[in-house]
Amino acid sequence: MKMLFATLALLTLNGCPNTAYFEPTPIALPGEAMVYIYRPEATNPGKKPLRLSYPEALMDGESVGLLKYNKHLALEVAPGEHEFVVTGLTRDAKWEPKDRKYTLKVEAGKSYFLRFRVEFDTAKMSLGTFTGQYIITFHPVDETDAMYEIRHTSKAKDE
């Protein structure tokens, strides 16, 4: 009986697709680049910081979508320098912390990854003090490293 269970479990696991797989968005227009902005899950144990709060992402002053917890945006962009901002100062954002900005120079045919991360600042926390104690970063991540994080996110949908 144990052997039957082990065999069934093995067959079930082998037949399951890898849900932690990232499929890059193909660049549709020649001469363009791809920029991914992603917000991975927090690595803190237990409660997830600002899980229900989300900023709006802007590129060169124009909205490119809401950056919700554990989601990513895929943006096809022209080569050149672009300013990316995550902000709570828009109508659709549900975000209180200050804006984070990054200027990125992109080249045609390449992919870039900007990680927006929110973590609890455990060094400043004490028992019962979970609000307002965050480390919030927004910066580029090497593609090799980004693949291991972005694969656990899902693409943000137009809402």
Task: Break the chain into its structural domains and give their ranges.
Answer: 31-155
pLDDT computed for residue 12 by the predictor: 44
**pLDDT (tens digit, 9 = 90+) per residue, 44-98?**
766 788 888 999 999 999 999 999 999 999 999 999 999 999 999 999 999 999 9
Tens of pLDDT, residue by residue over 111-141, are 999 999 998 887 776 666 656 678 899 999 9
| pLDDT of 43 over the 60 cut | yes
* CA nearest neighbour of 39 among 158, 159, 152: 152
For 125-130, the CB contacts below 8 A with 24+ separation are 130/47
Per the listing, tokens 């082998």 go with 14
| pLDDT band at residue 158 under the 50/70/90 scheme | low
Contact between 148 and 65 (Cβ < 8 Å): no
Residue 129's pLDDT is 62
- The whole-number pLDDT of residue 45 equals 66
What is the pLDDT, as a whole number, of residue 46?
A: 65
- Model pLDDT, residue 41: 87
Q: Shortest CA distance to 77 belongs to which of 110, 30, 34, 22?
A: 34
Please give the pLDDT value at position 125: 65
Residue 4 is predicted with a pLDDT of: 40
The answer as to CATH 2.60.120.560 being correct for domain 31-155 is no
Radius of gyration of the chain (CA): 19
Say yes or no to pLDDT of 23 above 90: no
Q: What is the rounded CA–CA span in Å between residue 71 and residue 91?
A: 20
Where would I find the beta strands (DSSP E) of the chain?
Answer: 33-39, 56-59, 62-66, 71-77, 80-87, 100-106, 111-120, 134-140, 154-155
What is residue 24's predicted lDDT score, i.e. its pLDDT?
A: 84
26 burial via Cβ count (<10 Å: 0-12, 13-18, 19+): exposed
